[in-house]
């Protein structure tokens, strides 16, 4: 399966996504696109619908309405091809803490059918890029929280996805580790190899994003540049604008 980017074709195209859990409407007609090399921030408070959107985009759940395409492959009808173009770092760690770093990474490459020789080379390169060579054979449970997150980022990129989905990936990290992870993803997107959607409630993580999408109560309240978000609310800064938009949405509920 090829994860090759097509010029001018969206890496991700999601249209009119709607999802309910019983009587609770979690997402209401949410649409978004990502182009190659873009860093897009999905900003929203707890309960905004970010996790639901991440679950839909990663194929864990199916939308009640709407469509999702990754590299032009429809998530409903071509799920294996769509998911081959996706790398995910979830909020909750998905590593086996008792296995070594390398064993965790090899499990991922085996799932994607990557030949062992190629897999070992990619693992070595990914660990070296993040300064984790010495931890290659260490059990995951022996790593710091920051290094575990780096391992998860390495894993998410081993099959060379075009679309990277980061779901509250810095939860529980110290400030230095949080900054290092954010900087790593920004560097990846600026290299043009991958588009990233960064879901968070922490405004300082997304101040350099190409675009910001503010989500609250399942609705998109704003989509535009970080500067545009601040200007929309009178130039009070991104954090102030974010809080003001969410407060206005709550008052209108």
How far apart are the C-alpha atoms of 233 and 229, rounded to whole Å? 7
| Nearest-angstrom CA–CA distance, 215 and 212 | 10
In 3D space, the residue among 11, 19, 9, 12 whose CA is nearest the CA of residue 66 turns out to be 19
Question: CB atoms < 10 A from the CB of 232, how many?
Answer: 16
Structure tokens at 252: 């209108």
Q: Is the pLDDT of residue 35 over 70?
A: yes
H/E run at residue 40: strand 39-43
CA distance 47 to 90: 16
| Structural domains of the chain, with CATH | 1-85+163-253 (3.40.50.300), 96-160 (no CATH)
Q: Give pLDDT, residue 19.
A: 97
Q: How far is CA 146 from CA 46, 89, 130, 138, 143, in A?
A: 23, 13, 11, 15, 8
101-126 pLDDT tens trace: 999 999 999 999 999 999 999 999 99
Helix axes 145-157, 175-190, angle to 10 degrees: 20
Count CB neighbours of 97 within 10 A: 12
Residue 251 pLDDT greater than 70, yes or no: no
The band of 10, judged by pLDDT with boundaries at 50, 70 and 90, is very high
Alpha helices in 72-225 (DSSP H): 79-84, 101-111, 116-129, 145-157, 175-190
Which pair of structure tokens corresponds to residue 212? 């910001």
**Integer Cα distance of 195 and 185 in angstroms:** 9
CA quadruple 227, 229, 232, 238: dihedral sign: negative
d(CA 227, CA 153): 28
**pLDDT tens figures, 170-180:** 888 888 888 88
What backbone torsions phi and psi does residue 211 show, to the nearest 5 degrees?
A: -140, 155
Query: How far apart, in whole angstroms, are the C-alpha atoms of residue 59 and residue 8?
Result: 24
Task: Read off the pLDDT of residues 165-212 as tens digits, 9 standing for 90 and up.
Answer: 999 898 888 888 888 889 999 999 998 879 999 999 888 888 899 999
Residue 83, CB-side half-sphere exposure with 13 Å CA sphere: 14
Which stretch of DSSP H or E encloses residue 34?
strand 24-34
Sheet holding 65-70, edge to edge: 24-34, 12-21, 65-70, 73-74
What percent of the chain is predicted at pLDDT more than 90?
Answer: 68
What is the pTM (predicted TM-score) of this model? Answer: 0.90
Token pair of 241 as six digits: 């604008």
């Amino acid at each position: 399966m090829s994860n090759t980017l097509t010029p001018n074709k969206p890496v991700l195209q999601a249209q009119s996504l709607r999802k309910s859990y019983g009587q609770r409407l979690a997402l209401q007609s949410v649409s978004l696109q990502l182009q190659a090399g873009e860093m897009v921030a999905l900003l929203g408070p707890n309960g905004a619908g970010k996790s639901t959107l991440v679950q839909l985009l990663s194929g864990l759940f199916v939308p009640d309405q709407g469509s999702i395409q990754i590299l032009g492959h429809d998530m409903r009808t071509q799920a294996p091809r769509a998911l081959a173009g996706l790398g995910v770092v979830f909020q909750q760690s998905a590593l086996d803490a008792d296995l070594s770093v390398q064993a965790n990474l090899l499990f991922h490459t085996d799932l994607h059918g990557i030949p062992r020789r190629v897999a070992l080379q990619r693992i070595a390169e990914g660990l070296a890029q993040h300064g984790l060579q010495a931890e290659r054979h260490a059990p995951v449970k022996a790593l710091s929280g920051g290094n575990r997150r780096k391992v998860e980022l390495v894993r998410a990129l081993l099959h060379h996805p075009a679309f990277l989905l980061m779901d509250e990936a810095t939860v529980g990290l110290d400030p230095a580790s949080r900054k290092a992870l954010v900087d790593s993803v920004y560097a990846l997107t600026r290299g043009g190899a991958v588009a990233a959607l960064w879901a968070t409630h922490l405004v300082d993580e997304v101040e350099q994003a190409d675009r910001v999408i503010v989500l609250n109560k399942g609705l998109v309240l704003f989509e535009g540049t970080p500067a545009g978000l601040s200007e929309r609310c009178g130039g009070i800064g991104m954090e102030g604008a974010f809080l003001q938009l969410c407060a206005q949405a709550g008052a209108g509920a």
